[in-house]
C-alpha cells in the first residue's frame, strides 16, 4: 500500500471514531424519532416507489433506524433482502418476512447483528435489487460514503459492477453526517442519494 493509501486509511479511522462518538451520545428517544422521520423521507424517494426488490439492512445500536422503513416497504409489496455476514466479511442475503423473522447473531468480538432467519439466497442475490440501501457513517458533497471499515459493502458494490447491475445506491444517515469531504480510496464508489431525517440529497 502506498503512503497515500495508508494516510487515507488512517484519516478514515479517525473520522469513524469521531462520528461513532457523536452517535453514541444519542438517547433512545433521539434514535426512535430520527428513525420515524427517516422512514417518511425515504418512502418519498421515487426509486423506492418503483422498486420491486430492495436490498437493505437492520440497524443496530445508535445507527439511523431502519425497521420502520423495512416494514413499510414490505407492506407495499416490495421484496426486501437483508444481509447475513459471512466469516470472510462478505454478505449473503435472505428475504425479510417481518420483525419476527430476524435472528440475533453474535459475530465473534463484533457487535451482534439482526439477520434473516430463513433461507439464504447467496451473495449474488443483491444483483437483483432495484435499490441498495447502504449503512455508513458519513457522506460528502460528491456522494462519497464513509463506511464502518469492514469492507462488506465494498464487496457488494464490486459484485454489482461485475454483474453490470445498476441499482440506485442510497445511504441512510443523520443530518450532521452529511459533510464537505470524506477521504476516498480508488475502490470507493459514490452513492446516488442520501436520506436523513430532514430530507433527501441527490448526487449526480
Instruction: Give the residue ranges of the annotated binding site for ATP.
Output: 12-16, 145-153
Q: How many CB atoms lie within 10 A of CB 9?
A: 14
d(CA 8, CA 12): 6
Residues that constitute the known binding site for substrate: 58, 63
Residues ≥6 apart with Cβ < 8 Å to 131: 45, 47, 48, 51, 54, 55, 167, 168, 169, 170
Distance CA 113, CA 135 (A): 13
Residues 10 and 76: their CA atoms lie apart, in Å, by: 42
Contact (CB, 8 A) for 201 and 193 = yes
Check: CB of residue 19 under 8 Å from CB of residue 137.
Answer: yes
d(Cα 111, Cα 158) in Å, to the nearest integer?
25
**Antiparallel, parallel or unpaired: β 199-202 and 193-196:** antiparallel
Nearest to 54 by CA among 32, 33, 76: 76
Point out the annotated binding site.
12-16, 58, 63, 145-153
Amino acid at each position: 500500500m502506498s503512503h497515500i493509501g495508508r494516510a487515507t486509511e488512517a484519516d478514515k479511522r479517525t473520522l469513524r471514531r469521531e462520528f461513532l462518538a457523536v452517535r453514541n451520545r444519542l438517547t433512545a428517544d433521539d434514535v426512535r424519532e430520527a428513525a420515524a422521520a427517516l422512514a417518511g423521507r425515504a418512502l418519498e424517494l421515487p426509486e423506492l416507489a418503483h422498486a420491486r426488490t430492495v436490498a437493505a439492512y437492520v440497524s443496530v445500536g445508535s445507527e439511523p433506524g431502519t425497521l420502520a422503513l423495512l416494514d413499510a416497504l414490505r407492506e407495499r409489496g416490495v421484496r426486501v433482502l437483508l444481509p447475513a455476514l459471512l466469516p470472510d466479511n462478505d454478505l449473503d442475503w435472505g428475504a425479510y418476512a417481518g420483525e419476527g423473522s430476524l435472528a440475533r447473531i453474535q459475530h465473534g468480538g463484533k457487535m451482534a447483528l439482526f439477520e434473516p432467519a430463513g433461507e439464504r439466497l447467496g451473495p449474488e442475490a443483491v444483483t437483483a435489487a432495484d435499490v441498495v440501501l447502504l449503512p455508513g457513517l458519513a457522506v460528502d458533497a460528491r456522494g462519497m460514503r464513509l463506511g464502518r471499515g469492514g469492507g462488506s459493502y465494498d464487496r457488494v458494490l464490486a459484485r454489482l459492477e461485475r454483474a453490470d447491475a445498476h441499482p440506485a445506491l442510497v445511504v441512510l444517515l443523520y443530518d450532521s453526517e452529511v459533510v464537505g469531504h470524506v477521504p476516498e480510496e480508488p475502490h470507493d464508489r459514490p452513492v446516488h442519494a442520501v436520506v436523513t431525517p430532514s430530507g433527501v440529497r441527490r448526487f449526480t
